[in-house]
Amino acid sequence: MTREEIFEQIRQKRSFLCVGLDPDLKKMPECVLRNPNPIAEFNRRIIDATAEFCVAYKPNLAFYEQAGECGEAALKATCRYLKTNYPSHLLIADAKRGDIGNTSRMYAAAAFQDLGADAVTVAPYMGKDSVEPFIGWEGKWTVLLALTSNAGSEDFQMLELADGSRLWEKVLTTSASWAGPDKMMYVVGATKGDMFARVRKLVPENFLLVPGVGAQGGSLEEVCRHGMTSQCGLLVNSSRGIIYASVGEDFAEAAAREARKLRDEMDRHLTAHGI
Amino acid sequence: MTREEIFEQIRQKRSFLCVGLDPDLKKMPECVLRNPNPIAEFNRRIIDATAEFCVAYKPNLAFYEQAGECGEAALKATCRYLKTNYPSHLLIADAKRGDIGNTSRMYAAAAFQDLGADAVTVAPYMGKDSVEPFIGWEGKWTVLLALTSNAGSEDFQMLELADGSRLWEKVLTTSASWAGPDKMMYVVGATKGDMFARVRKLVPENFLLVPGVGAQGGSLEEVCRHGMTSQCGLLVNSSRGIIYASVGEDFAEAAAREARKLRDEMDRHLTAHGI
């Protein structure tokens, strides 16, 4: 999926929402648990209810891995369901992978080929040759961790380097020479709203995948004020706030309601930015 | 498995070898491919042939993920086989995971509980709350990436910080306050042999998991000279050099031969260090 195609979806739907598919059997209503593949069924109903309000879905692979073989099967079924029924939605495998070259190649194949994902999140610590195998895939996206939404981002990402910049800034500037804004996105947490102006100085055009709105307390308004470009340039993720809006039988309707609320807010921000 | 138990194994076997189980169907002999679960069968024969010469096994999860459901089944079967038949060998899940707290908890459960691994490799970029869920497991090991064996380690790990130290050094000193040498190991690549003296200044006691000997060109002699402690403190990994020593029907015997060769060399280094 090209950058222009993503922007076109955003314009049409008046939304740059990404719905995080982080299924947790402890939070699912009983009606879903009686299905032979409860996680896939839960996701299917969330997807059907929210598809018109979002442009991307992001399964976090940890939630499926932890559920063993059934989780693995649910992840595959969910990805297949998305690619078949909602091919214009971006499918982001949130894997945060990264290893030496020949191993990263395996992770890239697992995400892009086996799952059919359009994008995969990648950790930068091991450097260029650990990221390049992801970049090498035609028509696919690498989403590199830059500045994450958690408290631990202070430990290393915010470290000041000898040249006065911060580590997360160096990750942006260094990796920008590996791939341009048509292949690379960056994770920048919404909890770091005041950093978005600085992010845009360094990577003016790249799409940013923004977690941390909702449960983690980030402000959509601040993210948009500093981070939005003329082609939007933002994919804002919400997981728990949408998929667990209700833990009753009305979970899908409640998810749709929350997604619509975010879409409406995003619509206003897009309009305010002349999009 | 405690630090003392690992050291006891090393003393008894005169080896601190870790065999990397990175199965690749393209490199396996035909006799294995005719098995209904070829990857598990390949691993089983490698394990039986090498167990007396090593103290640890390290499946890299990428190789199994990439092989889809059969890969997943092979990984589970291999881990079960190891825990049942070789319970005193350390089982290291090489996953290089790391995510926000509630997600890292899932990855930790997947590795420690579902696979029964004794240790898991973790990426440090997201900081303390991304690593703590791994540390929290009683009797298990967190193996944090510090200085990796690939060329890309230059990109970020070697960056000089404002205080004059390098990023990889900061990863060691900061994370040392999260967990001590009875819970935390570090990945330090053998290709950085001259760095081991510096590593030992910062973490004098922790076990180091050392990839890069063999195919990647690292020197065992140099690693031992600068990195060995009075309790050894090293687990040196070899994958391709052992498991693909022959791609013929004698692959297991060839693997044993290479593992024995490394064991003999390690024996000499242990003796030279009074162990």
Residues recorded for chain A:
275
Q: What is the 3-state secondary structure (H, E, C) of chain B?
A: CCHHHHHHHHHHHCCCEEEEECCCHHHCCHHHHCCCCHHHHHHHHHHHHHHHHCCEEEEEHHHHHCCHHHHHHHHHHHHHHHHHHCCCCEEEEEEEECCCHHHHHHHHHHHHHHCCCCEEEECCCCCHHHHHHHHCCCCCEEEEEEECCCHHHHCCCCCEECCCCEHHHHHHHHHCCCCCCCCEEEEECHHHHHHHHHHHHHCCCCCEEECCECCCCECHHHHHHHHCECCECEEEEECHHHHCCCCCCCHHHHHHHHHHHHHHHHHHHHHHCCC
Q: Does ipTM top 0.90? A: yes
- The per-residue pLDDT for B213 is 86
- pLDDT over 70, % of chain A: 100
- Angle, to 10 degrees, between the axis of helix B128-135 and the axis of helix B167-175? 50
Give residue B169's pLDDT: 98
pLDDT of residue B152: 97
pLDDT bucket at A191, cuts 50 / 70 / 90: confident
Q: What's chain B's average pLDDT?
A: 96
Q: What are the chain B neighbours of A156 within 8 Å (beta carbons)?
A: 124-125, 127, 167, 170-171, 174
Q: Which residue of B has its CA nearest to A164?
A: B162
Q: Return the CATH architecture of domain A3-272.
A: Alpha-Beta Barrel (3.20)
Q: Is the pLDDT of residue A153 over 80?
A: yes
Whether A150 and B159 lie within 8 Å, measured CB to CB: no
Q: In Å, how far are A28, A255, B229 from A236, measured between CA atoms?
A: 24, 16, 49
Looking only at the bridges linking them, the beta strands covering A119-122 and B119-122 are unpaired
| Cα–Cα dist A185/A146, whole Å | 10
Nearest to B121, CA basis, from B212, B215, B205, B184: B184
Paired strand residues for A184: A142
β-pair type (B234-238, B119-122)? unpaired
| Average pLDDT rounded to a whole number, residues A8-27 | 97
What is the DSSP secondary structure assignment for residue A94, as one 8-state letter? E
* A97-123: average pLDDT: 96
Query: Which of the four pLDDT bands, split at 50, 70 and 90, describes residue B68?
Result: confident
Surface of B (138-157) touching A: CB under 8 A: 145, 148-157
Cβ contact A114–B164 (<8 Å): no
The nearest CA of chain B is from the CA of A31 a distance in Å of: 24
**Which single residue is written with the structure tokens 């881990």?**
B79
Burial of B70 (0-12, 13-18, 19+ CB in 10 A): middle
pLDDT at res. A262 = 97
Query: Quick check: A110 contacting B, CB < 8 Å?
Result: yes
- For A249, which DSSP code? T
Higher pLDDT, B213 or B225: B225
Which residue type does B133 have? P
Residue A216: which pLDDT band, with cuts at 50, 70 and 90? confident
In chain B, which residues have their Cβ closer than 8 Å to the Cβ of A99?
60, 62, 96
DSSP secondary structure letter of residue A215:
T
What b/e string do you get for B100-134 counting C-beta neighbours within 10 Å, with b at 16 or more? bbbbbbbbbbbbbebbbbbbbbbbbbbbbbbbbbb
Give the pLDDT score at B120: 98
A96 touches chain B (CB under 8 A): yes
The single residue listed with the structure tokens 């990175």 is: B22
Question: d(Cα B235, Cα A146) in Å, to the nearest integer?
Answer: 31
State percent of chain B over pLDDT 90.
93
Q: Render pLDDT for B81-113 as a digit per residue (tens, 0 to 9).
A: 999 999 999 999 999 999 999 999 999 999 999
Look at residue B13 and tell me whether its pLDDT is greater than 90: yes
pLDDT in tens, B147-194: 999 999 999 999 999 999 999 999 999 999 999 999 999 999 998 888
Q: What mean pLDDT do residues B60-79 have?
A: 93
pLDDT of B47 reads: 98
Check if A261 is active-site: no
Cα distance between residue B55 and residue B238, in whole Å: 12
Instruction: Tell me: pLDDT of A214 over 80.
Output: no
Residue range A74-87: average pLDDT? 97
Position with higher pLDDT, A55 vs A213? A55
Considering only the C-alpha atoms of chain A, give the largest distance between any 2 of them, rounded to a whole number of Å. 58
pLDDT band at residue A68, thresholds of 50, 70 and 90? confident
Q: How many residues does chain B have?
A: 275
A245 inside 8 A of chain B by CB: no
Query: Across-strand partners of A209?
Result: A187, A235
Q: Is the pLDDT of residue A213 over 90?
A: no
- Mean pLDDT of the B232-261 span: 96
CA distance B67 to B219: 32
pLDDT band, very low/low/confident/very high, at B69 (cuts 50, 70, 90): confident
What was the pLDDT predicted at B216? 75
Distance of CA B89 to the CA centre of its chain: 12
**A239 in B contact zone (CB under 8 Å):** no
Q: Would you say B44 and B76 are in contact if contact means Cβ atoms under 8 Å apart?
A: no
How is residue B81 written in tokens?
């086989």
Of A110, A151, A174, Cβ closest to residue B65: A110
Q: Within 13 Å and on the Cβ side, how many CA atoms surround A117?
A: 26
Q: How many cross-chain Cβ pairs, A to B, lie less than 8 Å apart? A: 166
Q: Can you give the residue ranges of every domain in chain A?
A: 3-272
The beta-carbon contacts of B135-142 under 8 Å, at least 24 apart in sequence, are B135/B178, B135/B179, B135/B183, B135/B184, B136/B108, B137/B108, B137/B112, B139/B1, B139/B2, B140/B112, B140/B183, B141/B1, B141/B90, B141/B92, B141/B183, B141/B184, B141/B185, B142/B179, B142/B183, B142/B184, B142/B185
Does A96 contact B98 at a Cβ distance shorter than 8 Å? yes
What is the mean pLDDT of the segment spanning A215-242?
93
Q: Which residues of B touch A155 (CB under 8 A)?
A: 124, 127-128, 174
- Give B63's contacts in chain A (Cβ within 8 Å): 103, 106
Catalytic position from the list B96, B128, B170, B201: B96
Average pLDDT, chain A: 96
Residues A190/A196, Cβ–Cβ less than 8 Å: no
- Average pLDDT (B24-31) is 92
**pLDDT at residue number A246:** 95
Give contacts of A 152-191 with B, CB under 8 A: 152-157, 159-162, 164, 167, 170-171, 174
Nearest CA in chain B to A64: B106
How far apart CA A121 and CA A93 sit, in angstroms, is 7
Q: Which residues pair with A120 in a beta bridge?
A: A93, A142
Pairwise CA distance, residues A167 & A164, whole Å: 10
Interface contact A106, partner B, CB < 8 A: yes
Under 8 Å between Cβ of A51 and A76: no
Given pLDDT bands bounded at 50, 70 and 90, which one contains residue B141? very high
> B272, exposed or middle or buried, with CB in 10 Å at 0-12, 13-18, 19+?
exposed
Helix or strand run (H / E) with residue A270: helix A251-272
Is some CB atom of chain A closer than 8 A to the CB atom of B104?
A: yes
Give the separation between CA B140 and CA B115, rounded to whole angstroms: 12
Q: Is B22 on the interface with A (CB under 8 A)?
A: yes
Contacts of A131 (CB under 8 A, 6+ apart): A98, A104, A122, A124, A142, A144, A175, A178, B152
For residue A82, is it left (φ>0), alpha (ψ between -120 and 50) or beta? Answer: alpha
Q: How far is B145 from chain A (nearest CA, A)?
A: 8
pTM of the model: 0.96
